[in-house]
A and B are shown apart, each in its own frame.
Chain A
Amino acid sequence: MVKTCVICDAARAVLKRPKTGQQICKECFYHVFETEIHHTIIDNHLFSRGDKVAIGASGGKDSTVLAHVLKTLNGRYNYGLDLFLLSVDEGITGYRDDSLETVKRNQQQYDLPLKIVSYEELYHWTMDEIVKEVGLKNNCTFCGVFRRQALDRGAAMLDVDHIVTGHNADDIAETILMNILRGDTPRLQRCTEIVTTGESLIRRSKPFKYTYEKEIVMYAYFKKLDYFSTECTYSPNAYRGYARTFLKDLEAIRPTAILDIIQSGEAFQIKTEVKMPVQQTCVRCGYMSSNELCKACVLLEGLNRGLPKLGIGKTERLRKQHNLQVSEKPVITETAW
């Protein structure tokens, strides 16, 4: 039996929408998917007319769909944005080199200017070299810390006002759970913010904050978007894996659970007695930091001095030993959030 779309009541339903369970047609899916992102952009005042916006592009599904949707919405609703693609080359053979090829094709397809910054040019270390030095256990710490800063530096080179990233609702919900499990209250408070601003005054935002990962994949599939789907060759964070599996279980039990977790996360308010890190500027590179020396500089120092453990886990003692001034415990431990 042919089912008709419950929204337009005309076309044939071809998909069951993961977020609502509604059986709908392709066109209505595009409409609701894009409109929700438009609402997110408008309701949160993400952009101003004339903004120069860099899309953090990895070649993966999230950023590929983000580039496509932002370009579409910018035209449809006349946001008046100047869009760029900004990629980070971490120097991971067999992963990033291939995905960057996808980004280069996206550049042609969407006709957007592309800037690539590499770890090699910024830090004189590629991820392949870092992994050789530190092994596969803490390499994600380096990558996360360096990527966040690299994006900011690339944005400064492009002279843009704003970076958008493809973090989706699943990522946000998972991070909320992770921060509860780890007891990281400062991050629990911050991780639901849709816009953040660092010292560099470049705004960062997540237009996919309420967009389900499954729907991003669906959108890319039906629109036949060209994206790169291989996982990073270096192992992912194991503890995060627990949270991810649990989130998928919750989603299977009740599809709204992802949004419901974000609803909870946004409602959380942390007691003021809890010590929140004070933001300052790194004395070495001038990047925003919660210590005198930013995490990237500490990690880099460790690499350059042949002490890769510097800056991993409890760093106070090591920092003291090696004469790196610290005023309080560093906040960044595992990821760049």
Chain B
Amino acid sequence: MSDVDSGPLRAPKPKAGTCIKCKTRPSTVVLRHVQYCKDCFLFATTGKFRSAFGKSAISNTTGHKAMVAFSGGPSSRALLHLMKGFQHVGSHQSGQKRLFDELVICHIDETAAFNGSSTLDMARVVVDTEYPDFTFHGQLIEDIYEDEALSSIDKKEKLRQLFAQAGSLTAKEDLLWHIKMHLLVKAAQKLGCTRLILGDSATRIAIKVISFTAKGRGYSLPLEIGGDIHGLYPNLVILRPLKDMLAKEIAIYDHSQGLLNSLVPATNFSTMAPPTASIDRATEEFIVGLDRDFPSTVSTIVRTASKLKLASSMNGQSRCALCHMPIQSGSKDWKQRITVQSTQCTRDSAPGTLTVPENILCYACQTDLSESEGWSRLADDASPSTQLEEFRSLGYPTLLTQDDMHQRIKDFLLDD
């Protein structure tokens, strides 16, 4: 077939098996139907990583201390290594600025929730031996309970009880993620970090886009997957520099850099669980399978999500006590009107129906909580501060304080 651009000046088509970039070395990596040699692949990956920081509006990194979330899985393992290369300034590049003033690597040991053996030491060894310039910060998940009167064993027990009554596996997985996010944010703020760097790959983000949609998180979705999120937490910006890299790309990177031996094994609720066990598991199975048959699936989903903007109704005031995302008002009423549960045609639901306070929880967390054993204790008609107290007494962690609640309702309170 003769195309218009096939003139005599066109470079010869590279032979099969040759790297598309340097056109000399044999290719060893195939990504998105394109073949690279190892060197060119590494060059491209590092370049993509740098440009992820370059693109972000608040990319000025000097004067900032950053926290890198390191679970020890393939993505965050690559992230750590890429950060090292990124911070390094060779002698010939003395004009180039170092990026962050300081990097703290935070590992959360979540094994208390699963009765596994601790991962803290493994993570510490990786950081101390291979990245001595970085500060290691280990965090036990049970320390979400800051009450000093509680022993470590008490805290673990309290955590296990919380998970035991949390409802479905979907709700448990969500809860685990919210707790980890709490811990990361709290640790970052405590250590004076102004940037929190997460290792979400494009594949992970595509899975999140679909599973969050399925869980009714559409309202806050742009805030939960964005590469550069500010304003969600005070003085803390969330960055996702791996958001354009496929899981496969990251796996090849780990392999080529010899990082696979220093992964920290992860256990969680859905380990060994069938794909029908939770919304996250089903979505992962669906996206990975679809991407195998239609290789542009992941990038299309990520691109679709990048075109979403924050709702015009969003204001900074009402945040969910569990996930800290903005609460969309009216969503509970919306659901009640189309999920009639009694024969009385009133807007109030009958006693014993599935309602959870909208004052303190977003739509998606209401859904999760409605599966838990404790939701009925969250009285619908109580004041937000009472609800928040009840919520805490159930063992749920929250970033909201009584002060936040007071701030939110102060216009409605009368002076004594």
Contacts and interface: CB of A to CB of B under 8 A. Distances in A.
Interface of B: 168, 170, 209-210, 212-219, 221, 275-279, 282-283, 286, 290, 294, 297, 300-301, 303-305, 307-312, 328, 331, 334-335, 337-343, 345, 354, 363-364, 367
29 contacts: A20-B339, A20-B341, A36-B338, A36-B339, A43-B337, A176-B213, A177-B213, A180-B301, A181-B301, A185-B307, A210-B338, A242-B290, A249-B286, A250-B214, A253-B276, A253-B277, A253-B282, A254-B170, A256-B216, A259-B335, A260-B215, A263-B216, A263-B331, A263-B335, A264-B215, A267-B328, A269-B311, A271-B307, A271-B309
B217 A264 contact: yes
A252 B309 contact: no
B304 A180 contact: yes
A183 B364 contact: no
Contact of A267 (B218, B278, B294): B218
A55 to B, nearest CB: 21
Contacts of A45: none
A257 B279 contact: yes
Residue with the highest number of chain B CB atoms closer than 10 Å, among A179, A250, A261: A250
Nearest to B220: A267
Contact of A183 (B279, B303, B341, B343): B303
Contacts of A224: none
Given A20-B341, A249-B276, A265-B213, A270 B308 contact: yes
B214 A257 contact: yes
A268 B342 contact: no
Contacts of B282: 246, 249-250, 253
Interface string A318-336: 0000000000000000000
Contact of A181 (B215, B216, B218, B300): B300
A271 B308 contact: yes
Interface string A299-313: 000000000000000
Contact of B216 (A32, A39, A183, A260): A260
A127 B383 CA distance: 62
Most buried by B among A180, A254, A259: A254
B340 A260 contact: no
B279 A177 contact: no
B210 A177 contact: yes
A256 B218 contact: no
B298 to A, nearest CB: 10
Contacts of A185: 304, 307
Given A31-B340, A253-B170, A256-B216, 10 more contacts: A20-B339, A183-B300, A185-B307, A246-B286, A249-B276, A249-B282, A254-B168, A254-B367, A264-B212, A269-B312
A39 B337 contact: yes
A269 B309 contact: yes
A182 interface: yes
A259 B311 CA distance: 19
Given A181-B290, A254-B168, A254-B279, A268 B210 contact: no
A271 B306 CA distance: 9
A4 interface: no
A40 B338 contact: yes
A259 B290 CA distance: 23
B307 A260 contact: no
Interface string A31-60: 110011001100100000000000000000
A180 B276 CA distance: 22
Given A181-B297, A253-B276, A264-B213, A259 B338 contact: yes
B339 A261 contact: no
A270 B222 CA distance: 10
A184 B304 CA distance: 7
B315 to A, nearest CB: 15
Contacts of B216: 256, 259-261, 263-264
A202 interface: no
Nearest to A192: B218
Contact of A35 (B168, B334, B340): B340
Contacts of B342: 7
Among A20, A39, A253, A272, which residue has the most Cβ atoms of chain B within 10 A?
Answer: A253
